[in-house]
Amino acid sequence: MEKLRKLRPVLWFHLLVNVMVILFVTGASYYHIPLDGIKDTGIYLIHLLLLQTTVAGFIYFLSLNKWVFRVGFSALFLLYCGFSFWAYSQDLSITLPLVQSVLETKTDIAIDVITLPYTIFFLFAITALIFIHRKHGRIKPFNGFKLLVTPAALCIVLFFVLEEMRPGSLKNRLPYNLIGGLAEYYQKPELQLNKQIPDLSFKNDSIALVFVLGETVRADHIGINGYSRNTTPLLSEEDNLISFKKLFTNNTYTGASVPQILTDQDLETNEGVFTSLYSVLNKADFKTTWIGNQTLEKSFAPIANTNDEVILVDKFRSVFSFDKALDEVMLIPLDSILPSYYRQCITIQMIGSHWWYENRYTQEHRVFTPVIESKYIPSLTREQMINSYDNTIVYLDFFLNEIIERLKNETRPSVMLYVSDHGEHLGEEGKWLHAQGGEAAMNPAYMIWFSDSYIDRFPDRVTNIRSMKDARMNTDVIFYKTLSILGIDNSSF
């Protein structure tokens, strides 16, 4: 009886901690489940309680040492709050794509997702944490140690029992999904690039390719692809432009899609040694230059670095700078390097239509209104989201037209190839942004423009490309088609 009396404050403390963890972390995985009636609600309530019971076991062991609890629990609690906010507000699942985007996405892009509600949520979480630590300081953790250690261990065992019975039922929810995503991320092998490029057959023609690597542009919002809004008034005037409506990729975020587009990696293969497009071009006597309005992510930096030269617009921009440069700043280095060698490939990596849309275009390109005013998506209407997004496409139309106009001044055969890394969700199935499945994020824009001198010189190549216009294809074709446009034999890859 005496023992039980002493145990009471410990039990109350753990009840409090677990309620807080449900509110700030685990509850987020259940918040968006559509429930119909009392039976559904009851089942998921039991599911949540079972999941929390397994978490309670881990929390108990953490709480046994004052410093482990202060440092370890606090760090984990705040880390999880960072993710649960997105699960609560946008129903995002914490999987490998999201983990990779968070770990590799540049701080300046990441800042664009921090909103006032996010800050308020965090302040509440910190307040809850201080409250928990105060209560923890008042109990003697070793009270009834022997009595609680067995039930706590059994709670942990329950996790494995339930996972055995229904694999994934707990693993796919907070807090376990983050551990799974991190484990998958760190098990992913580093990108291996092929350094021994086989001998190629090619002719030493003068030629210029501007390879524009777009960001977050879905094919069906491009005016010339038949979108109901004319988002591409300038490009629609270009007879030498071919747009491909049906390009698909499984990779819905930059870190996965860019390495696949710029190498001979196919969509089915994740491991192995791949060949960079630029290594091949260098071997074929091209001068290769990378101009980026994004800093290089770990996943594609080795590929960008196979260029002869890398120019990054944002290299010295502070991560505290909210105003990211508009893509047009890349036209300045483009102008200075375009006439520098007889065979050239210049890659331009855009920030494109990446969230937050309002930072991606000028006032002059604000064609569709009302636009988004906040960064907190649940407070915005679908109409505002689509208007702002479409304005970024109008800006893209201007930007690509600027490049085409420059290439028209070239006497040598010239090509502009534009391909976006992935698409974007605009409210389909309640989803927004990208780094998650669904066709809206898997159908990136893809178009190629040829100069008159290119068409005169290589009519067969143009006919061949034109014949693919309406074909359904995936991003595997980009590497090979780019080489064949430049007259390089691609059969050895």
- 109-115 CB contacts, 8 Å cutoff, 24+ apart: 109/294, 109/324, 109/351, 109/354, 111/319, 111/320, 111/322, 112/322, 112/354, 112/355, 112/356, 112/359, 112/375, 113/355, 113/356, 113/375, 114/375, 115/374, 115/375, 115/376
State in angstroms the smallest separation of the CB of 141 from Zn ion: 47
Name which of 215 and 390 has its Cβ closer to Zn ion: 215
Binding part of the chain for Zn ion, among 146-154, 215-223, 243-251, 328-336 by CB under 5 A, reads 215-223
Q: Does 264 bind Zn ion (CB under 5 A)?
A: no
Taking CB atoms, the residue at the shortest distance from Zn ion is: 254
Name which of 261 and 404 has its Cβ closer to Zn ion: 261
Q: Give, as one character, the DSSP assignment of residue 232.
A: -
State in angstroms the smallest separation of the CB of 216 from Zn ion: 5
State in angstroms the smallest separation of the CB of 482 from Zn ion: 19
Q: Does 314 bind Zn ion (CB under 5 A)?
A: no
Q: Does 297 bind Zn ion (CB under 5 A)?
A: no
Q: Collapsing DSSP states into helix, strand and coil, what is residue 84?
A: helix
Between the CA of residue 97 and those of 148, 255, 424, what are the distances in Å? 39, 8, 14
Q: Give, as one character, the DSSP assignment of residue 412.
A: S
State in angstroms the smallest separation of the CB of 299 from Zn ion: 11
State in angstroms the smallest separation of the CB of 260 from Zn ion: 12
Residues 6+ apart with CB under 8 A from 62: 68, 69, 72, 73
State in angstroms the smallest separation of the CB of 419 from Zn ion: 12
Burial classification of residue 164, based on how many CB atoms lie within 10 Å of its CB (0-12 exposed, 13-18 middle, 19 or more buried) = exposed
**DSSP-assigned beta bridge partners for residue 263:** 276
State in angstroms the smallest separation of the CB of 236 from Zn ion: 25
Q: Does 254 bind Zn ion (CB under 5 A)?
A: yes
- Whether 484 contacts 490, CB under 8 Å: yes
Name which of 215 and 476 has its Cβ closer to Zn ion: 215
Which phi and psi angles does 446 have, rounded to 5°? Answer: -150, 120
State in angstroms the smallest separation of the CB of 237 from Zn ion: 28
Binding part of the chain for Zn ion, among 210-218, 277-285, 320-328, 387-395 by CB under 5 A, reads 210-218
The letter for the amino acid at 26 is T
The site string for Zn ion over 332-371 (x = CB under 5 A, - otherwise) reads ----------------------------------------
- Whether 324 contacts 108, CB under 8 Å: yes
Name which of 100 and 225 has its Cβ closer to Zn ion: 100
- Return d(Cα 58, Cα 63) in angstroms, integer: 9
Q: Collapsing DSSP states into helix, strand and coil, what is residue 243?
A: strand
| Pairing relationship of beta strands 446-450 and 241-244 according to DSSP bridges | antiparallel
State in angstroms the smallest separation of the CB of 60 from Zn ion: 42
Binding part of the chain for Zn ion, among 13-21, 252-260, 365-373, 471-479 by CB under 5 A, reads 252-260
Q: Does 421 bind Zn ion (CB under 5 A)?
A: yes
**240's tokens:** 């030498």
Binding part of the chain for Zn ion, among 41-49, 230-238, 246-254, 285-293 by CB under 5 A, reads 246-254
Binding part of the chain for Zn ion, among 55-63, 194-202, 297-305, 413-421 by CB under 5 A, reads 413-421
State in angstroms the smallest separation of the CB of 105 from Zn ion: 9
Name which of 254 and 265 has its Cβ closer to Zn ion: 254
Name which of 397 and 421 has its Cβ closer to Zn ion: 421
Which phi and psi angles does 290 have, rounded to 5°? Answer: -110, 125
The site string for Zn ion over 170-209 (x = CB under 5 A, - otherwise) reads ----------------------------------------
Q: Collapsing DSSP states into helix, strand and coil, what is residue 373?
A: coil
**Nearest to 420, CA basis, from 449, 444, 395:** 444
Name which of 254 and 347 has its Cβ closer to Zn ion: 254
What residues line the site for Zn ion (CB under 5 A)?
215, 254, 421
